[in-house]
A and B are shown apart, each in its own frame.
Chain A
Amino acid sequence: MKYPIAVIAASAALVSFFCGEASELHSSAGCSATLTHPECKVERTLALIKPDAVAANHIGEIIARLEQSGLRVIALKMVKWSEFDAQQFYNMHRDRPFFAHLVKYMSCGPIVAIVLEGKDAVAHYRAIMGATDPAAAGRGTLRALYGSSIEANGVHGSDSIENAQKEISLLFTESL
């Protein structure tokens, strides 16, 4: 059965209205809606506070460091993943030896998902996070401060603008 495009658009608007699906991204940057525009250097990236750091109650300290770094928190929620959720998120690592353990770990307790917005957000946040292995992470980085092992390393961050968009859309809705 075919519907005219206007009917589909109207139904989507109604679904969004009745389900309360307003945008979960609360951008404060003027050009955020045109992130693909070549002159716009404002980026978004996804940060996760992992189960170990949530359990150790480092949430406030980590968010304070992000806010003080000049990145803006434009979306935030606590979620508890099922193993299936974690498999979807880490799908690109499906064939790696650490995959099963990573999935188990990321679904062992609540995490905090955060969208950060700012100039060169992807690279800027990766610098704040530090190296994947906390033992190799620079002094004062989040992983040096709050990570305990290469897996329980406190935080996750997107590694590219493309992956940031994918990861953000897995966790947050944005109205059109």
Chain B
Amino acid sequence: MAKERTLSIIKPDAVRKDYVGEIMQRLGQKKLRPIAMRMMQLTKEEAAAFYAVHKQRFFYEDLIAFMSSGPILAMVLEGDNAVAVHREIMGATDPRAAAAGTIRADFATTIDENAIHGSDSLDNAATEIAFFFATYELCQRHPF
């Protein structure tokens, strides 16, 4: 299995509800290790730039308003098949459709405020990581 990196964001709803530690425990149980982490609050402009791919979608305005509504925790996760493993532990976009035991099933309630974001492909992971972190901010980790 190839070692990959993916971008994970704990969204404003989950940060507000103090779920950061519990969500990180779920990620750690799947052997996803953070190699960069930063709590930050996006401006509307930054959120718009990050989600530019959704610009024509009906939910775009609501999404950028929500993503800039409070602090988020942006992380780079490293591990075997990190992109797919992270998507699996996140669960479906709509928490009501998310499988039991996934992060969205356990920590989110609506499709708009669904607790966590994860890159959907290796290519997008590289783009999204570069959006949030400079190369020097990615830390080497010892295997645990």
A residues with CB within 8 A of B:
22, 24, 26, 54-57, 59-68, 72-80, 109-110, 112
Contact B18 A67 (CB under 8 A): yes
Q: Which of B19, B33, B38, B41 contacts A76 (CB 8 A)?
A: B38
Report the separation of the CA atoms of residues A66 and B18 in the bound assembly, to the nearest whole angstrom: 9
- Among B21, B41, B137, chain A packs the most CB atoms within 10 A around the CB of B21
Once bound together, how far apart are the Cα atoms of A74 and B71, in whole Å?
8
A112 CB contact (under 8 Å) in B19, B26, B37, B140: B37
**A77–B34 touching, CB < 8 Å:** no
A114 and chain B: residue at smallest CB distance: B39
Q: Is the CB of A26 within 8 A of B71?
A: yes
**Interface residues, chain B, with chain A CB atoms under 8 Å away:** 15, 18-28, 33-41, 43, 70-71, 73, 137, 139-142, 144
Q: Which residues of A contact B140 (CB under 8 A)?
A: 80, 109-110
Assess whether B38 is in contact with A55, with CB atoms less than 8 Å apart: no
Nearest A residue to B46 via CB reads A20
Complex interface: chain A residues within 8 A of B26 (CB) = 60
Question: Measured between alpha carbons, how far is A54 from B15 in the docked complex, in Å?
Answer: 21
Q: A55-B144, A59-B28, A67-B21 are known contacts; what are 14 more A-B pairs with Cβ within 8 Å?
A: A55-B141, A60-B26, A63-B24, A64-B25, A66-B21, A67-B20, A68-B21, A73-B15, A74-B71, A76-B20, A76-B39, A77-B37, A80-B140, A109-B142
In order of increasing CB-CB distance, the 4 nearest A-B pairs are A64-B21, A60-B24, A63-B21, A60-B25
Nearest A residue (CB) for B43? A22
Residues of chain B contacted by A22 (CB below 8 angstroms): 40-41, 43
Q: How far is the CA of A166 from the CA of B36 in the complex (A)?
A: 24
A65 to B40, CA, bound (A): 21
A78 adjacent to B36 (CB under 8 Å): yes
**Which residues of chain A are within 8 angstroms of B142 by Cβ–Cβ distance?**
55, 109
Whether the pair B41, A26 counts as a contact (CB closer than 8 A) is yes
A73 near B39: Cβ-Cβ < 8 Å: yes
Q: Measured between alpha carbons, how far is A62 from B20 in the docked complex, in Å?
A: 10
**B20 CB contacts on chain A under 8 angstroms:** 63-64, 67, 73, 76
26 pairs from A and B in contact (CB 8 Å cutoff): A24-B39, A26-B39, A26-B70, A54-B141, A59-B24, A59-B28, A60-B21, A60-B27, A60-B28, A61-B21, A61-B25, A62-B21, A63-B21, A63-B24, A64-B20, A64-B22, A66-B21, A67-B20, A67-B22, A68-B18, A68-B21, A73-B20, A76-B73, A78-B38, A109-B140, A112-B37
